[in-house]
A = this chain, B = another copy of it.
Amino acid sequence: MPELTESVREFARARDWERFHTPKNLAMALAGEVGELLAELQWLTPEQSAAVMSDPELGPRVRAEIGDVTIYLVRLADVLGVDLVEAAADKLADSGRRYTVEAARGSAAKIED
C-alpha cells in the first residue's frame, strides 16, 4: 500500500497534475469511478453479481473499476495526509462499539451510521 501511494503520487507529479488534485476534485473523481463500477453491476440480479468475476467479459471490467476506485481513494488520502488503513480500522472499532454482535445479529447490516 505505501508503494501504491508513492506510485500514484509520482504518476501525478510526472504529468504536472498536482494542481488539479485538490481534495474536492479527487472526491469527485472517486465518485465518478464508483459510478462506473455501479454501471457494471446495475442490471445484474444479486446472484449474477455474486458470480460476476467468473464472467470472462464482466470480470476484468469490474476488476479494472475496482482498480480505478482504489487509485483515486489512495490519491485522495495521500493529499489529505490520512492513513487509509488506520482510518478504516478506527472506524471499524468505533462501529463495533455501536453495533454489538448481540444487537446486530440478523437485524441490520450497517457498518457505519
- Tell me the A residues contacting B by CB distance below 8 Å: 1, 4, 7-8, 11-12, 14-17, 20-25, 27-39, 41-46, 49-50, 52-53, 62-64, 66-77, 79-82, 84-85, 87-92, 95-96, 99, 101, 104-106, 108-109, 111-112
Contact = CB atoms under 8 A, between A and B. Distances in A.
B50 A22 contact: yes
A46 B22 contact: yes
Contact of A11 (B24, B75, B92): B92
A14 B62 contact: no
Given A16-B105, A41-B28, A50-B23, A88 B112 contact: no
Given A32-B38, A39-B32, A41-B23, A91 B106 contact: no
